[in-house]
Amino acid sequence: MFALSQIEHDLPMPPHLLSRPLPDAIKAELERLFLDKVIANLGLCVSVYDIRSIEGGSIHPGQGCSTYKVSFRLLMFKPFNGEVLVGRIIGYDDKGLQVSLDFFSDISIPGHLMQFGTVRGPDGRWMLKTEDGDELYLDLDDEIRFLVSSTKYPRIPIDQKEDDPPFAPMQIVGSIKGDGLGLLAWWAADEEEGEEAAEQEQ
Amino acid sequence: MKIQKANAGILTNFEVLDFLQTRGAKVDPMGCLGAVAASECKVYEYLLKTPACNQTRESIYEFVKRSEGFKLAEADKLNVINWRPSSAADAYAMIEECGKRFSKDDQGEACDEDERVQEFLDMVKEVLPPPPPKAEAEAEAVQE
């Protein structure tokens, strides 16, 4: 779910940070630049993990600040394909479900990556029709376990129409097709039944 | 900006939680102010709800040592550590080609798949600490 990325950056140090010790000032500046931002193909930056080296400090002609060459590691949210995540359903439409991890919400589960037999109910909610004829609804705020199928980093659109959804720089496509995937309640229930059966045997 | 290494190592949820804790992340939203950013605080709160919340470095080392016999890929181990499967269905979701992998024992001889999965689940149960009871369950227990 989380990975480290090593990055080198030429960092101009604004003069108002000169009063602070250099490593602190650099860390503050890096956090301002990268924290909570998506870097294409690297993921969402959660935190500055450590600073490996600070070099330079030269002042370029015409600039009122010193520039340092900083090598540092960022803690990125970057799930790999095939990783299992647990999130909460925050919405649905005709394309599929939207899932949130509280700190990251651009996750979609399209209809074709759901269990076989999942259709939209009369009220628009998605539901799984089981062989026994049960209708299992995928409701808002339910906890859902899914597999990361792919991660997309779309380019910034040149023109945004009014009715377009807000631009998301990182989109995760999830899949709930497979054993053990889907709502946590579906699989937890099985376990309880098993326990009950075990108790009865005793 | 120059990317030196896009992937300089993958962390388990426990390591991230530990890292954020040492930086001063707290559950209290006001306590977070100043020490860590709001985004870090949200990640911290999310991780507290996962099985990583009461793992220790020792329990993870122990798991890695004892899982050698099961011939899992690194990604599978990561999934198992992060989510602590408790039933066979969980294990099938988290481990790629679970059936194929669990149809052989330590020596590479054929064995019963279900028994082998159960053996693995028992090991996970023993080594990784169980998740603490949820707040709702606790409230119910108090009422009773």
Q: How far is A197 from chain B (nearest CA, A)?
A: 15
List, as one string, the DSSP characters of B15-28.
HHHHHHHHHT--SS
Backbone angles phi, psi at B51, to 5 degrees: -60, -10
| B interface with A, Cβ–Cβ below 8 Å | 1-11, 13, 15-16, 19-20, 23, 36-40, 42-43, 45-46, 50, 75, 78-79, 82-83, 85-87, 89-94, 96
CB within 8 Å of A15: residues ≥ 6 apart = A64, A65
Q: Is residue A197 pLDDT above 50, yes or no?
A: no
User: Is B116 found in the same domain as B73?
Assistant: yes
Share of chain A above pLDDT 90, in %: 53
User: Is B89 found in the same domain as B44?
Assistant: no
Q: Is residue A191 pLDDT above 70, yes or no?
A: no
| Predicted local confidence at residue B94, as pLDDT | 87
- DSSP-derived letter for residue B54 is G
The answer to the question of residue B135 being in a domain is no
User: Is B87 found in the same domain as B113?
Assistant: yes
Find the mean pLDDT for residues A131-156. Answer: 89
Find the mean pLDDT for residues A27-47. Answer: 91
Q: Tell me how far apart the terminal alpha carbons of chain B are, to the nearest angstrom.
A: 59
| Predicted local confidence at residue B33, as pLDDT | 64
User: Is B76 found in the same domain as B44?
Assistant: no
CB within 8 Å of B124: residues ≥ 6 apart = B63, B80, B84, B85, B86
The answer to the question of residue B121 being in a domain is yes
The answer to the question of residue B133 being in a domain is no
| Predicted local confidence at residue B131, as pLDDT | 79
The answer to the question of residue B41 being in a domain is yes
Domain A83-192 CATH (choose: 3.40.640.10, 2.40.50.140, 3.40.50.1100, 3.40.30.10): 2.40.50.140
Look up the domain containing B104 and give its range.
69-127
Instruction: Write the residue in A86, A103, A147 that is nearest to B39 by C-beta.
Output: A103
Rounded distance between C-alpha atoms, residue B139 and residue A23, angstroms: 47
Rounded distance between C-alpha atoms, residue B90 and residue B87, angstroms: 5
At A55, is the pLDDT very low, low, confident or very high (cuts 50, 70, 90)?
very high
Dihedral of CA atoms A89, A93, A94, A95 in degrees, nearest 10, equals -60
- For chain B, list residues with pLDDT below 70: 28-34, 106, 108, 134-144
A2-77: CATH topology is: Dna Ligase; domain 1 (3.30.1490)
CB of A69 within 8 Å of a chain B CB? The answer is no
CB of A151 within 8 Å of a chain B CB? The answer is no
Rounded distance between C-alpha atoms, residue B51 and residue A79, angstroms: 17
Higher pLDDT, A190 or B48: B48
Rounded distance between C-alpha atoms, residue A107 and residue A87, angstroms: 9
| Predicted local confidence at residue A131, as pLDDT | 80
Share of chain A above pLDDT 70, in %: 93
Summary mean pLDDT of chain A: 87
Rounded distance between C-alpha atoms, residue A174 and residue A147, angstroms: 5
| Predicted local confidence at residue B70, as pLDDT | 81
Find the mean pLDDT for residues A169-195. Answer: 79
User: Is B49 found in the same domain as B73?
Assistant: no
pLDDT tens digits, B94-132: 888 777 778 777 676 777 788 888 888 899 888 888 877
Domain with CATH 2.40.50.140 in chain A: 83-192
Find the mean pLDDT for residues A68-80. Answer: 94
Indicate which of A33, A53, A84 best probes the interface with B, i.e. most B CBs within 10 Å of its own CB.
Answer: A84
CB of A178 within 8 Å of a chain B CB? The answer is yes
Indicate which of A46, A51, A52, A99 best probes the interface with B, i.e. most B CBs within 10 Å of its own CB.
Answer: A46
The H or E element that residue A137 is part of is: strand A135-138
Q: For residue A180, list chain B residues with Cβ-Cβ distance below 8 A.
A: 85, 87, 89-94
| Predicted local confidence at residue A151, as pLDDT | 94
Domain with CATH 3.30.1490.120 in chain A: 2-77
Instruction: Write the residue in A3, A103, A145 that is nearest to B43 by C-beta.
Output: A103
CB of A12 within 8 Å of a chain B CB? The answer is no
Q: Which residue of B has its CA nearest to A80?
A: B75
User: Is B73 found in the same domain as B123?
Assistant: yes
Are residues A105 and A85 in contact, defined by beta-carbon separation less than 8 angstroms?
A: no
At A163, is the pLDDT very low, low, confident or very high (cuts 50, 70, 90)?
confident
User: Is B73 found in the same domain as B116?
Assistant: yes
- Shortest CA distance to A86 belongs to which of A193, A171, A176? A176
* Domain count of the fold of chain B: 2
Whether the predicted interface score ipTM is above 0.90: no
Q: For residue B92, list chain A residues with Cβ-Cβ distance below 8 A.
A: 178-180
The answer to the question of residue B138 being in a domain is no
- Shortest CA distance to A96 belongs to which of A133, A129, A147, A138? A138
The answer to the question of residue B45 being in a domain is yes
The answer to the question of residue B140 being in a domain is no
Q: Is residue A18 pLDDT above 70, yes or no?
A: yes
The answer to the question of residue B134 being in a domain is no
